[in-house]
Structures are given as C-alpha cells and as structure tokens.
Amino acid sequence: MGIPVGVPRETFPGERRVAITPRAMDVLAKSGVEFLIEPSAGAAAGFPDSEYAERGARIAGSRAEVFASAEIVLQVRTPGANPQAGRADLALLRRGQTLIGFGEPLNSPGETMELAERWVTSFAMELIPRITRAQSMDALSSMATIAGYKAVLLAANALPRMFPMLMTAAGTVTPARVFVLGAGVAGLQAIATARRLGAVVSAYDVRPAVKEQVESLGARFISMELEPGEAEDKGGYAKALGEDFYRRQRDLLTEVVRQHDVVITTAAVPGARAPVLITREMVSSMPDGSAIVDLAAERGGNCEATRPGETVVEGGVTVMGPVNLPSEVPYHASQMYSRNVAALLRHLAKDGRVEVDLSDEITRESLVTHGGQVVHARVRQLLGPERQAVRS
C-alpha cells in the first residue's frame, strides 16, 4: 500500500486552482503515493475527473471521505489562507495527518494554533526557503510569475492607448510608458511582458543588486542610494525599512510616477502590511486615462487609493486592486503549483511516510505545526508564550 494523498476541491471564493494536476501525479509515481481526489476538484482549472482516473487516482465519494482516508492532504489554500470556508475543514482534519499548502501562518497565527491543537503536521508553501535546493518547490515565485504577467494584461486592457510604438500611414503611435515598482519575481515578469508588448519600461527596487536583471530585460533602472545590505534579508526578499526611508522614497517616486501611463506595484514584505509607495497626490499627477495595478492589494496595497478586489477611478486614473491573480490563469497556475507541491512531497516522503527531519533546512523552514505544537519560530513569536501551550 502507498501513502494515501487526498486532494480536496478548493473552497475559497473565486479560487479555481487545484493542488495537484493529473500530470504532476506522474512525478510522484515512484514515491509510493496513491491519490484520492474530491469530485470536480480540478474542473475549474481545466482538469476533469476522468484525467485523474486515467492516471490511477481514485475519485472519492465526498469531501469528508478525502479527509478521512488521506494521510496527507494537499491544498492550494489551507484554513489559514481560507479563514471562512476553510473552518469547515478544521473539523475534518485528524491527529497525525499532514497538511501542505499556502497557509499564511504569519498573517493567521490563530488558525495555525488550531491546526496544532488538532495535532496536524502542517507545511506552508510560502515559507519554502529561497535556496538552490528548494527552487523546484518555490511556489511563491511560481505564482508571482503569473501575477506579474497578468498585471500587464490588466493594465493594457484598461489603458485607452496601445503599448507598442507603431508607424502607420496615419502617423506614428508613441509607445506607452510603464513603471514597475518592485523587481522581484512578479516585477521582473511584468517588465518582460510589458517589453514584449512594446512599452517603454522603467523599474525601481530598494535592492540595488537587481539593477542588472532589470536592465537585461530592456528596462531602465531608477535607483536611490542605500547602505549595502540594508534592503534585503537573508532569504533574498525585500525587507521592511524605516519611515524616514519611505519618505525619501516617496520624494523620488513623485517625479517618476507622473511621467508614466501605467504603474504596476509589487512591493510586499512577508507577514507585514504592504508599504504605501503611491500617494493620492502621486495618483492625481498622472495623465488622465492612466492605470495603476496594485499587486500588493491583498496586503493592504502599495497605493493609497487601492481598494482590494475592486477597480476604482480616482482623478481620471484607473486604480486596480486585484486579489488572487494566479487563479485567473488556473490551468497553468495549477500546473506550476502542483509541480512545486510534488517536489516538496518527494523531499518529505521516505519509506511510505512523511519524515520530519529538522536538521534539513527545507523541512525546518516550511514546517509550521508538528507534535501538537506550533514549531515555526516566527509564528510562535507572533502567538506569544501564553498562547503556545497545546493540550495533549
């Protein structure tokens, strides 16, 4: 008998991704894994039950059967990242079960504590360390790639002008000017996509080290002097900086923003509110018909005018606050995410069970709850000592 792995249908409103695609099952074929799929789990992403069955998965009779039979449950959004609908799954989880998915433990420590109280071993995909060994498991980067691509398409659709320069019998059409704030994975993909569409692109990031990457994509890098090592943590993420820095940054950006037709913001710090980079004053300085796409909307937004999940027009500028953009491209988002999950599962599954080896950096950094405890140091710090004790 192999390890029974359950894949339930996602219940977060508007979520169309699935944790494992039929093709990703092949990656785990030699790991002794047997899949149990909730009916229609992959339908919204374009993967019918028949494709899972053809690759040897069993289609369950109900969601409850998936949780009751599986030793490992794979989700896109575990209860911490699905705080309302996901509460129903808490009652289905049982002692000793392993749960893998995006869990937002740094933003939802309460739900994380409930997993510990149920003695569930949980791994958070967003906590996978950014090290060479874990590149194939880096789901944050996978989803950021899709978000950056989709953000440019949203902006192009909203803009009352075309992106490329065109020379026509009616004269020359000047190219759109796109400014990308944040040159992480999402920002770099936004730069590349905007350039492919023919826009003139500029970009800014607090990390001077990304200048070469930005320029290699054909964009102009806008810089501000920083002390070496000030802007980046050991994991390669931009880190929160002081308010004095953000004031100086806003002075720089005010002049830059007003020169562009499109601004795409991507600046987010894990576990913290997104920094406000675009003030209402900056928005009002942009040309009428301009567009802002705020990819940090789920963390409060980089723009003062952003309303998460909404599109608003302020002073003639369209401000979009999309949430869960990867779900808008569910087929490929599911393909990429499921490869990340499969790579982690192959790393964890040894001799027919999940092996929790805390000497391994990948396991240690992504493990959130185990043995009836919240074990991740940053989450424990958020909970405080008075909330860390769990009844046996």
The pLDDT assigned to 228 comes to 42
The pLDDT assigned to 231 comes to 53
Quick check: 160 and 289 in contact, CB under 8 A?
yes
Least-confidence region, from 78-87, 217-226, 320-329: 217-226
- Element (H or E) spanning 216, and its range? helix 211-216
- Element (H or E) spanning 148, and its range? helix 139-158
Quick check: 322 and 295 in contact, CB under 8 A?
yes
Q: Where in the chain is the domain with CATH 3.40.50.720?
A: 3-137+330-387, 145-323
Let me know if 55 is exposed, middle or buried by CB neighbors in 10 A (0-12, 13-18, 19+).
middle
Asked if the model's pLDDT at residue 234 lies above 70, the reply is no
Condensed to tens digits (0 to 9), the pLDDT of residues 21-33 reads: 999 998 888 778 8
Condensed to tens digits (0 to 9), the pLDDT of residues 68-101 reads: 999 999 999 999 999 999 999 999 999 999 999 9
CATH class of the region 145-323: alpha beta
Residues classed as catalytic: 130, 135, 138, 141, 237
CATH of 3-137+330-387, picked from 3.40.50.12280, 3.40.630.30, 3.40.50.11720, 3.40.50.720, is 3.40.50.720
Phi and psi for 311 in degrees, rounded to 5?
-120, 125
Beta bridge partners of 124: 101
> If you average pLDDT over residues 347-351, what whole number do you get?
85
Binning pLDDT at 50, 70 and 90, where does residue 190 land? very high
Asked if the model's pLDDT at residue 243 lies above 90, the reply is no
Asked if the model's pLDDT at residue 200 lies above 60, the reply is yes
Least-confidence region, from 159-173, 200-214, 317-331, 364-378: 159-173
The pLDDT assigned to 142 comes to 97
- Element (H or E) spanning 213, and its range? helix 211-216
Residues recorded for the chain? 392
SS3 201: strand
Quick check: 139 and 392 in contact, CB under 8 A?
no
> If you average pLDDT over residues 228-232, what whole number do you get?
51
Question: Percent of the chain, pLDDT > 70?
Answer: 93
Residue carrying structure tokens 């302020």: 314
The pLDDT assigned to 388 comes to 59
